[in-house]
Structure 1
């Protein structure tokens, strides 16, 4: 868990770069008046597309292929300095830059802030040169640093080649790596493929799609204010304040520097606004970006570097991780613009290829010089100083995890050791069976492509045994398509109606602590055989089964009424069923069908089921059923956020023709006691609706924290609490044969309500009102996150 957390942090950093050469020129860049060092000063080789930047201590290093060469050093607000290096020149050259003293005005001040006019010109100029930019190739270097509150924890460095092509995006090939000894080379993913380019229309930051400050519509999203006019080499440089205009959209704030006359960005110092954050368990999240651009004397303005600093703190009650501080510096150089890039580069859909024998080259690892602190980290960090140790959490949950890992001494820790591999405990509880205890066994024989499941157990109140087996044999594969054979036999206590949301285990817990038993029960002896085709179409599976079932009622004079709390007056009796033999053929086809998540995340899935039973098959019942279920999730408002507002819809229903047994009717789920997940009728407590014809339509819109942001209730925003509006309608009706069934609806049951979502990150509270009849209902469920 901890290492995945660290990996997530590293991905936020956004990668590294490299160059190879023969002669190294290095030195330190100073302010000529104060003697202070100048970090991130640009160092460019004249008449080339190669450059670098100085580190935090003002130190630089650049490789040159041949001599003589002219090196140009520049810094905003200072006069640039050119130095010619030949065979006789020293290889260590310190540079002193002197501030420009003349301020120049090029914009006539009016009642409209000049910053707006300047940025309009930047946007228009960008449209012209960006239209002619088709591709580029460059060399990159990146260094990523992780720190806790006391020291550097790890360093990873990388040299790579970066490719970009219009319409294809980026590809990166890592060529060489270096890292502290507590990081394995295969864990070094430093690179520049996700490097934000602040000249782009849209900038991806931590999953947020943010409008760039040079977007064609940037003036609708930002206020631009001219702060001052500086000078560099006789050309004005405008320092412009950037502030968000739309407070609820993810945007940037900070400053941008624009080179006059050419109206091009040369430097930005920006941070995402407060909208760019994460819900609990993330408690603190902060990012800042600095980036410089150069045209190297040509037409196109391309990134020279990227400097990132960030901090993230993760924790919840009983589990607090130390703050993770991270830095990244990347340098991009040796551009080749509008060159032909081999098709093989973009045929690979992976945006990042790690260094291996295929791409390894004899190159010199060229870096931005290490600081003194970084050099000491390389010298002192050894392989025993792991990420887990550096970011070890605190709190009672952390101590419990440590005890479990180190001593395995919890009160139930020995139970799992009583069973051999593949064997597990089987337990359930309901008003008919009482306590049921048994065992499950599962074994996969890979060389036979055979999966075996066997179970058995005893129910102490009904004095019955459950047992059965399920065999799945893969008999053919073709590309991603597989054909499986299913064979199953079971003698079990079955539920009279099927639930799309609740398991027998969930019902056992609710019944035991005092809730109403949701199901009715009968004995079912079943033999089934069938085939399943997985990925018959993209994300689509087809399953066809033939079944022979013998159904018997389970009638008891008394039901088990043990419960920890008195939530219901008394347990209802278990009704009888339509006894007999059911022989049927069923088919189901599903698209992108997922495990039930109770509304934790939105789904996009479709499931269609059909069953046919007839006396010609030897069945005591003649019926045909067709059922469909659709779940779909739509992004609505604020889609530039990592978690946009969403609309979730569930539609389900079906019809059963002929003379089905009562235990084959369809159902619409209500709430499981006070548990009210998505895709149910929340104001139908304790039992479902059941009938021949049935339908359900529910929808909810997740506004997330937006209502609290509008109201200025920052406490709830910081805690990640949100608002959900929901509504639903459903019905279940029977034919004349089942017209007296008490579990049918009286017309269409409709409801609406509001939810308080993600309370403390673990809970959702639902307040629902029934619309077709009097009544309110209060329930809870898992929070909706996605």
Structure 2
């Protein structure tokens, strides 16, 4: 009996605790003085770190246990409203009508009136305290909700067809939601820049083809830093209104002051000194005495904003006191608008921060470089979960969009749809196949086939004449962690009548360590420069139209294999063993499809003197066999990464990357004739931001052969040179004018590359040109070898998206070598 009594007491106690912890919903609509909806107003419980924001329609919700709360309603431009609200054993409806904020020169701020520039004086105090507020917390953790919406605001009538309206789910005025997402995460930070985030729930609907901020670290907007960056929308940086040198870029005007919750808040108008500078305009609100940011409402707009994809971007941020001396953001909002080809679009990304813990003690080894981990069940939360846990209610339009797209997603999993989809998506698009190739897959998408583009299939060169290089890739996805890709290829030259067949197989078995095996075998016609020269497409064009047969070929029968794995975070190791039988090839087709005056083809031996007849058969190397071993280790310092349920995804590092390579040629093994030892090291870094002046990239490589007893030309160290008008600027280690084979070496070498992208900071000041949003580029390349010392290149250029034009000049030793234009338009 006693046992049953104790059990009853325990159950009653548990029910009592459960009742105390049960939460109810405080909700309502926030309007302004004219009954207009107040979008994105902050709503939070005073003396806590718990809050939310209203949605676009001004509707808000808060989950609260029974009790009495002081709830604060805040938004820049409106007077703060503080209400005492009691939550009983039921949901509570509480609508709020906020009044416009009146900033005046009160007695508290009267002392600023006699100052020539009172706004300047206040901001000098803020800037003086900038570092204090930047570093006032050593670390923190919080819960973050991220919401994003991209909408079509209007569609040109001429394009508002039934098909477009149906495909984009638009209303009669051409409006609709293109994409929306939401996520719930825990976010942890420790000085100086350690971040660890865990996404516990994630959801999206639609297709995001432009940009997005779907994790908490994307919205870490910090105006206490000198430069404000906007990844995805601009390659430029923008001067913060509280930067250490902000007075070079801004003027400030005190609009007035007000007292809110016992604090004097100064409203400062932020005014760029030049309309062409990389600056915000708008308002910033300052806590007088503490000289800290209370809230910010800043805007990038106009012709000089250098934003890509959008025309205007509004950045709003609200701070609340966590302790007497620590303030943290309670919300951050990116609101954008733009237009393209008559389509007007807009949307927002907002972050809501709750449950701050300041200076927590993180376990040793907590920060490992993993900046984001997505929980395995993050994408499996149903609509009920989101209704109960999202802090910002959906608008009616957003709710409808989620419901419709969820229904569509469910339909897309039905047998009938999968059958229809397979037929539709596997339909060949011939213009697309010409450049991008053709892809097909089964219903489950576990088996897929890719046919390489037509531009890479049919070709012409002087060694093979016209030829076919038929290449496909079959991929089998075994499960989320294992996949097999097989790429067979057939090649035939109609002039030299050489048939080649080869295959490459790759088996990926550990996506969390970037691990894979590969094996290749067969025969092929290969470039003597093993780092690549010109693609089959561009070599065909230059050979036919310009009578420039730049690429030189040889014949190889081979087999080999290798393995790679990330042995530790930031350390990628690979090794391979290859055997080949190699023979020299000669020109067999020297016919002129287009006869170019004063120009003729050159020999397939790249080392013969200029003027040698194109049908020359001077030996470059004898037929031989080669067995070689290569191993390399790449060290990415401070490697940061994202862990998803399907694998690890490394992010670009802000520190240089070091790669060390060793290659050995074995003599006498399996009849191998080669005998050499080669080692190299290169260090590189991309996109280093240089203040407001854009970003720089560099690559420095050195190495050589410490044993070169028997090295054949294809085993030399080769460079990524360039001949012809087109070039590939996507790799920082390439040259503009360097011949493909002349500088190849079997000795020591040193090459250096540097490039700086001004990100429009120069041309943005030129009328008319600023509308093009061009990015200015300068750079230099250097190479020295034992036989060819001091080759240099210098160039300037402009680029816009995938298009780029450079003009450069090169020197070989003390003599000018080549100069001219080089262009790139997205095809390599």
TM-score normalized by the length of structure 2 = 0.68
The 1-side partners of 2:404 and 2:560 are apart by 64
Kept after mapping to 1: 8 A contact 2:764/2:770? no
Aligned to 2:430: 410
* Deviation (angstroms), 1:269: 0.4
2:299 counterpart of 1:271: yes
1:145 to 135, 142, 149: 149
Q: Secondary structure at the match of 2:370?
A: coil
Q: Distance in 2 between matches of 1:117 and 1:306?
A: 27
Pairs within 5 Å for 1:46-85: 46-54=46-54, 59-73=59-73, 78=79, 80-83=81-84, 85=86
- Equivalent pair of 2:275/2:304 in contact (CA under 8 Å): no
The 1:116–1:359 alpha-carbon spacing in structure 2 relative to 1, beyond 3 Å, is farther
CA contact (8 A) 1:517 1:686 kept: no
User: What is aligned with 1:763?
Assistant: 804
For 1:4, the equivalent position in structure 2 comes to none
Change (3 A) 1:439 1:210: closer
Aligned to 2:521: 488
1:370 and 1:530 map into 2 onto residues whose CA distance is 54
SS of corresponding position for 1:266: strand
Confirm or deny that 1:561 pairs with 2:591. yes
TM-aligned CA deviation for residue 301 of structure 1: 1.9
Q: 2:618 is matched with which residue?
A: 576
- Unpaired runs of at least 5, structure 1: 1-19, 315-319, 389-402, 595-601, 734-746
Q: What is the distance in 1 between the residues matched to 2:363 and 2:299?
A: 36
Give how far 1:254 is off: 2.0
What is the CA–CA distance in structure 2 between the aligned matches of 1:88 and 1:495, rounded to whole Å? Answer: 78
| 1:575 aligned counterpart, secondary structure | coil
Q: 2:632 aligns with which of 574, 584, 590?
A: 590
Matched, 1:514 2:546: yes
Correspondences of 1:341-740 after superposition (within 5 Å): 349-351=370-372, 353=374, 356=377, 364-365=388-389, 367-368=391-392, 383=407, 408=428, 410=430, 427-437=458-468, 439-440=470-471, 455-462=489-496, 464-469=497-502, 480=513, 486=519, 488-490=521-523, 493=525, 498=530, 500-503=532-535, 506-521=538-553, 524=555, 526-528=557-559, 532=563, 534-535=565-566, 538-547=571-580, 549=581, 551=583, 554=585, 559-564=589-594, 566=596, 569-571=599-601, 572-577=614-619, 580-592=622-634, 606=659, 608=661, 610=663, 612=665, 624=676, 626=678, 628=680, 630=682, 632-633=684-685, 638-639=690-691, 644-649=695-700, 657-658=708-709, 671-677=722-728, 682-683=736-737, 688-689=742-743, 693=747, 695=749, 697-706=751-760, 708-709=762-763, 712-713=766-767, 715=769, 718-730=772-784, 733=787
**Structure 1 position 153, deviation (Å):** 1.0
Distance 2:215 2:118 in 1: 38
Alignment match, 1:738 = none
CA contact (8 A) 2:627 2:669 kept: no
| Helix, strand or coil at the partner of 1:511 | helix
Structure 2 CA distance, aligned partners of 1:586 and 1:27? 73
How far is the alpha carbon of 1:256 from its aligned partner?
0.7
CA shift in 2, pair 1:752/1:349, >3 Å: closer
State the partner residue of 1:309.
335
Aligned pair in 2 of structure 1 residues 611, 213: CA closer, same or farther (>3 Å)? Answer: same
Pick closer, same or farther for the CA change 1:123–1:164 going to 2, 3 Å: farther
Tell me if the contact between 1:41 and 1:73 (Cα under 8 Å) persists in the aligned partners.
yes
CA distance in 2, matches of 1:684, 1:358: 50
Q: 2:316 aligns with which of 272, 290, 297?
A: 290
| CA-CA distance at 1:263 after TM superposition | 3.6
Asked if the contact 1:704/1:723 (under 8 Å) is kept, the reply is yes
1:543 to 1:311, Cα distance in 2 relative to 1, 3 A? same
CA deviation string 1:326-376 (max 9, x = no partner): 124554445455566788986793536459389988983465466676677
Note if contact 1:764-1:781 (Cα within 8 Å) is conserved in structure 2: yes
Contact in 2 for aligned 1:53/1:60 (Cα 8 Å): yes
State the partner residue of 1:206: 231
Supply the distance in 2 between the matched residues of 1:126 and 1:661 (Cα, whole angstroms).
62
- Determine the structure 2 residue equivalent to 1:743: none
| 1:22 and 2:23 matched | yes
Q: State the SS of the aligned residue for 2:769.
A: helix
- Residues 632, 362 of structure 1: alpha-carbon distance in 2 compared, 3 angstrom cutoff: closer
Which is worse superposed, 348-357 or 567-576?
A: 348-357
Task: Classify 1:348/1:728 alpha carbon distance in 2 versus 1 (closer, same or farther; 3 Å).
Answer: closer
Deviations 1:106-137 (A, max 9, x none): 54456663334323444566766776645555
Give the C-alpha shift of residue 146 in structure 1: 2.3
The separation in 2 between residues aligned to 1:554 and 1:380, in whole angstroms, is: 62
CA distance in 2, matches of 1:377, 1:214: 40
TM-score normalised per structure 1: 0.71
8 Å CA contact 1:515–1:567 kept in 2: the answer is: no
Give the match's secondary structure for 1:507. Answer: helix
- What CA distance in whole angstroms lies between the structure 1 residues aligned with 2:294 and 2:40? 13
- Tell me, yes or no, if the aligned pair for 2:760 and 2:775 is still in contact at 8 Å: no
In structure 2, C-alpha distance between the alignment counterparts of 1:569 and 1:84, rounded to whole Å: 88
Aligned partners of 2:202 and 2:379 also within 8 Å: no
Measured after TM superposition, the shift of residue 45 of structure 1 is 3.7
Quick one: structure 1 residues 687 and 242, their matched pair in 2 at CA, closer, same or farther if it must change by over 3 Å? same
Cα distance per residue 1:609-635 (max 9 Å; x no partner): 64546579857x676464747463455
Structure 2 unmatched ranges of 5 or more: 1-20, 155-174, 413-422, 441-447, 602-613, 637-654
Whether the 8 Å CA contact 1:241–1:254 is kept in 2: the answer is yes
Paired residue total:
711
User: CA separation in 2, counterparts of 1:36 and 1:433?
Assistant: 74
- Find the partner of 1:226 among 239, 248, 254: 254
Contact 1:77–1:230, Cα closer than 8 Å, also in 2: no
The structural deviation recorded for 1:729 is: 4.5
Structure 1 residue 309: Cα displacement: 1.2
Q: Given that residues 141 and 366 in structure 1 are in contact (C-alpha distance below 8 angstroms), is that contact kept between their aligned partners in structure 2? A: yes
Q: Is the 8 A contact 1:77 1:232 kept in 2?
A: no
Between the aligned partners of 2:87 and 2:486, the Cα distance in structure 1 is 76
8 A contact 2:564–2:574 mirrored in 1? yes
Contact 1:244/1:252 (8 A) holds in 2: yes
1:164 aligns with 2:188: yes
